[in-house]
A and B are shown apart, each in its own frame.
Chain A
């Protein structure tokens, strides 16, 4: 699977969402994106953005102030 990574640490919402959106524009449907962030707001905002734009959240986890979200790019 075509998996890509995005470092959105130290960015505050909505910048991580914008970075995810811009990265996904360059990817093909079915591709996987792993994004790492430090703003806890992403745990709400990135899934919300994915839901309304047709992408799927594979996993979302937090560890020592970092939040990792895996996304499958939709059509």
Chain B
């Protein structure tokens, strides 16, 4: 069973084992934070790009089955209470890898598979792919000797598949470090010319801006909790928090506007009536004064930003209220309000 992220390393690791005549199937875990997911559908500027899911695409290139597993609920504990802490942002990379290998271990036991493959390379990532942390993953996941890392197996102690002769250790690799050259050479050998190489990995939690928004959400709520809708909304729009008790999510373009329409029944919304403008979701409770400020900010992001007065409509659960406001000058929106 191979953990398929959709990137090059897991593709190569899988192929290396398949080349030895082993039957391999793939597994992909959907945490909610995967870059592979929703955002393809949201922003209009992305619509020109192919909407392929790279893990499915990789599986198809390899000719293997792929099982996609929804781990959104279980993953909350990994993110909220990481035993090994966070990386540079809110990325609990080591706990995440332990969790995924543990889930894969459970899967192989239930489905009579013999071992787990990952595309890990020693030294490739600062947190989860280090010489000292790679044994931690094998141990804490419970996979132990059933975890094979074909791309750097020769740098690690022999695993069960090697000892049993299910795979030949001599035909595995000794990649290490952050260089991508050996992977690119191996990709050429296997004839892979098209593959995904996301710069920040495959997870939104490695992104500083995204992590800041998640911290802001937790701070505002006074607790570290989230739902899938929160995860999705943090990827969309301009997030502005003028007061600790309310935040505005301002669509930046048509694709985001359409996406946010789906939340109109859950959130209070604002839109400009006298001029074309974005849909704005408001998360939190508004006083009269807050509503006026939010309307001015909404007007600021409309095509009436230079106008003397802009009409703004606020809607909540079918009830509407209209305001005529002067758009707030951009200089009156402090940088700190932008989450």
- Nearest chain B residue, comparing its CB with the CB of A19: B70
Cα-based distance from A48 to B59 in the complex (angstroms): 9
Q: Which residues of B lie under 8 Å from residue A13 when comparing CB positions?
A: 37-38, 40-41, 51, 53
Q: Report which A residues bind B (CB closer than 8 A).
A: 10, 12-15, 17-18, 21, 39-41, 43-45, 48-49, 51-54
Q: Are B30 and A40 in contact (CB under 8 A)?
A: no
- The 5 A-B residue pairs whose C-beta atoms are closest, nearest first, are A12-B38, A41-B51, A48-B56, A39-B41, A45-B53
- Chain B at the A interface: SS class: mixed
Q: In this complex, what residue of A is CB-closest to B62?
A: A52
Cβ 8 A contact of B70, one of A15, A43, A52: A15
Check: B22 CB closer than 8 A to any chain A CB: no
A41 CB contacts on chain B under 8 angstroms: 40-41, 51, 53
Distance in angstroms between the alpha carbons of A53 and B37 in the assembled complex: 20
Q: Interface residue tally of chain B, by bracket?
A: 20 to 34
Question: Bound state CA distance, A51 and B64, in angstroms?
Answer: 10
Q: List 19 A-B contacts (CB under 8 A).
A: A10-B262, A12-B41, A14-B28, A14-B55, A14-B68, A15-B30, A15-B37, A15-B70, A18-B69, A21-B67, A21-B68, A39-B38, A41-B40, A44-B50, A48-B56, A48-B57, A49-B66, A53-B65, A54-B65
User: A48 CA to B65 CA in the complex, in Å?
Assistant: 11
Is B156 among interface residues, defined by CB-CB distance under 8 A? no
Beta-carbon contact of A52 and B59 below 8 Å: yes
Which chain A residues border B51 with CB–CB below 8 Å?
Answer: 13, 40-41, 43-45
Q: How far is the CA of A54 from the CA of B25 in the complex (A)?
A: 13
Check if A14 sits within 8 Å of B50, measured CB to CB: no
Instruction: Indicate with 1 or 0, residue by residue over B46-87, a CB within 8 angstroms of chain A CB atoms.
Output: 000011110111011001111111100000000000000000
Q: Which residues of B contact A18 (CB under 8 A)?
A: 30, 68-70
- Measured in the bound complex, the distance between the Cα atoms of B59 and A12 in whole Å is 20
| Known contacts A12-B38, A13-B41; is-contact A44 B53 (Cβ 8 Å) | yes
Question: Which of B53, B55, B232 has the most A CB atoms < 10 Å from its CB?
Answer: B53
Check A17/B262 contact, CB under 8 A, given A40-B41, A41-B51.
Answer: no
Q: A39 CA to B42 CA in the complex, in Å?
A: 9
